[in-house]
């Protein structure tokens, strides 16, 4: 029995969502029409196929009864085959069996709504790399076991592969941005699916009742996820979570929000930077009274990460003397953090004068060191090289600005210099020595 094409059925390009228009005006304009009107063309026959010819392209509209396998040619009448019309290979009760295998040639860009709908015996379909448009319910309720979707396809529409009970392998093209409502619902043999990084929207129940899938990773690019899109089954009238299902998600994205809202187990996809190498432009500074900020380089393996895109930096305790902390925190596709430190040493102390006020003593005065230092070290000696009669005196308060050194020899010239210190991790970190002052003891 020949498939009937009525004048009303083929007057609108339904898969493209356009308003009804005469086929002669639609097809020349778009060259992607999936229907054609018998008002303008009569179906022609090529082997086991029915088709229509608009003078520029061929539209496959159906096939003869009792045909199990079809190999669609790339050209008919010298014109390219570009389109498979809606319902062209749809299953019907009078066909027993329906079509079993179809090879679609390179050059075909469009497959219409319900083109293979309910063709329950269809097990094999080869889709061309030129395919751009797949219609709604296109392969619903077929017996295909695997499918590879062209990189030129941007939308997998609603119910496109729904209730394909034997579908176990799907390769989705790298430019698909939308997976429509119930697109793969009920594909109970599907064990895994890799979603492309181009994906933006996942429709309601897109993968519901895919009960053999234990995990799906949601790309970072996804912005919208519909209700029950992942991880749900419908054993009755109410949806239930699939036992043991895990959703791979990126922190701060729609995937994480969906998993949290639905109580689905999460596995974070972000790369941890806890094992990264963090290198600072300087590991030590001298106190200046200003916030000190080294430049930061972060490498993870051989890759140098980008500040602002892969990580952010925060710095604490980077003004006063002590140990400053640089924390590198992963953002976007990175997570966790790594810490690096640098030290801020005391600045050079300004010594004011050295005098002898009492017998066998000298008194040194200086300007208080900034940066919350812990104290000072004073060195005295009877020569400028500080090798003769050298004596060390400690001052254990940073606020102190004068110290009398006792027990010196009478009538001798003494030299003195001072430096501040800050204890960091149990070790004294010193500033530079002051200028040398001298005085004679009484």
Looking at residue 66, its pLDDT comes to 83
Looking at residue 43, its pLDDT comes to 86
Domain contains 311: yes
User: Do 373 and 295 share a structural domain?
Assistant: no
Residue-wise pLDDT for 302-335, tens only, equals: 999 999 999 999 999 999 999 999 999 999 999 9
Residue 16 in this model has a pLDDT that exceeds 90: no
Domain contains 359: yes
> pLDDT above 90 covers what percent of the chain?
86
Domain contains 218: no
> How many structural domains compose the chain?
2
Residue 29 in this model has a pLDDT that exceeds 70: no
Looking at residue 368, its pLDDT comes to 97
CATH number of the domain where residue 426 is located: 2.60.40.10
Residue 7 in this model has a pLDDT that exceeds 80: no
Residue 341 in this model has a pLDDT that exceeds 50: yes
User: Do 357 and 340 share a structural domain?
Assistant: no
Residue 41 in this model has a pLDDT that exceeds 50: no
Residue 340 in this model has a pLDDT that exceeds 50: yes
Domain contains 429: yes
Q: Which residue range is the domain that position 374 belongs to?
A: 351-440
- Average the pLDDT over each of 4-18, 190-204, 207-221, 234-248 and give the range with the smallest value: 4-18
Residue 385 in this model has a pLDDT that exceeds 90: yes
User: Do 364 and 408 share a structural domain?
Assistant: yes
HEC string of the chain?
Answer: CCCCCCCCCCCCCHHHCCCCCCHHHHHHHHCCCCCCCCCCCCCEEECCEEEEECCCCEEEEEECCCCCEEECCCEECCEEEEEECCCCCCCCCCCCCCCCEEECCCCCCEECCCCCCCCCCCCEEECCCCCCEECCCCCCCCCCCEEECCCCCCEECCCCCCCCCCCCEEECCCCCCEECCCCCCCCCCCCCCECCCCCCEECCCCCCCCCCCCEEECCCCCCEECCCCCCEECCCCCCEECCCCEEEECCCCHHHHHHHHHCCEEEECCEECCCCEEEECCCEEECCCCCCCCCEEEEECCEECCECCCEEEEEECCCCCEEEEEEEEECCCEECEEEEEEEEECCCCCEEEEECCCCCCEEEEECCCCCCCCEEEEEEECCCCCCCCCEEEEECCCCCCEEEECCCCCCCEEEEEEEEEEEECCEEEECCCCCCEEEECC
> pLDDT above 70 covers what percent of the chain?
89
Q: Which of 308, 329, 345 finishes a domain? A: 345
- Average the pLDDT over each of 28-32, 347-351, 413-417 and give the range with the smallest value: 28-32
Q: Which of 345, 376, 407 finishes a domain? A: 345
Domain contains 374: yes
Domain contains 370: yes
Domain contains 403: yes
Residue 38 in this model has a pLDDT that exceeds 80: no
- Mean pLDDT in the chain? 90
User: Do 433 and 391 share a structural domain?
Assistant: yes
């Amino acid at each position: 029995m020949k498939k009937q094409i009525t004048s009303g059925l083929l007057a609108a390009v339904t898969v493209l969502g356009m308003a009804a228009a005469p086929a002669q005006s639609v097809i020349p304009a778009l060259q992607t029409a999936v229907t054609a009107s018998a008002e303008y063309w009569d179906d022609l026959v090529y082997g086991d196929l029915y088709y229509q010819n608009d003078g520029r392209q061929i539209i496959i509209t159906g096939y003869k009864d009792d045909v199990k396998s079809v190999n669609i040619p790339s050209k008919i009448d010298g014109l390219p085959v570009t389109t498979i019309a809606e319902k062209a290979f749809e299953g019907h009760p009078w066909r027993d069996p329906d079509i079993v295998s179809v090879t679609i040639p390179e050059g075909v860009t469009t497959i219409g709504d319900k083109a293979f709908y309910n063709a329950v015996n269809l097990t094999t379909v080869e889709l061309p790399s030129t395919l751009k448009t797949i219609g709604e319910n296109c392969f619903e309720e077929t017996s295909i076991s695997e499918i590879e979707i062209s990189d030129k396809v941007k939308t997998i529409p609603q119910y496109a592969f729904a209730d394909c009970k034997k579908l176990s392998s799907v390769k989705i093209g790298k430019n698909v941005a939308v997976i429509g409502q119930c697109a793969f619902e009920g594909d109970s043999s599907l064990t895994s699916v890799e979603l492309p990084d181009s994906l933006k929207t996942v429709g309601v129940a897109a993968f519901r009742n895919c009960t053999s899938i234990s995990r799906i990773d949601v790309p970072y690019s996804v912005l919208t996820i519909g209700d029950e899109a992942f991880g749900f089954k419908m054993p009755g009238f109410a949806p239930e979570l699939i036992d043991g299902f895990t959703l791979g998600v990126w922190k701060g994205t729609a995937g994480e929000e969906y998993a949290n809202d639905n109580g689905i187990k999460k596995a974070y996809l972000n790369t941890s930077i806890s094992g990264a190498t963090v290198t600072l432009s300087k590991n030590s500074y001298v106190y200046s009274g200003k916030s000190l900020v080294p430049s930061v380089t972060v490498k993870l393996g051989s890759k140098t990460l980008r500040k602002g895109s892969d990580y952010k930096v925060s710095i604490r305790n980077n003004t006063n003397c002590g140990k400053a902390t640089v924390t590198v925190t992963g953002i976007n596709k990175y997570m966790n953090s790594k810490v690096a430190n640098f030290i801020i040493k005391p600045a050079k102390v300004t010594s004011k004068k050295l005098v002898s006020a009492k017998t066998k003593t000298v008194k040194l005065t200086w300007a208080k060191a900034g940066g919350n230092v812990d104290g000072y070290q004073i060195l005295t000696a009877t020569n400028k090289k500080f090798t003769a009669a050298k004596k060390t005196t400690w001052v254990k308060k940073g606020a102190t600005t004068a110290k009398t050194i006792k027990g010196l020899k009478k009538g001798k010239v003494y030299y003195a210099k001072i430096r501040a210190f800050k204890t960091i991790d149990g070790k004294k970190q010193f500033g530079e020595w002051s200028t040398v002052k001298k005085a004679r003891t009484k």
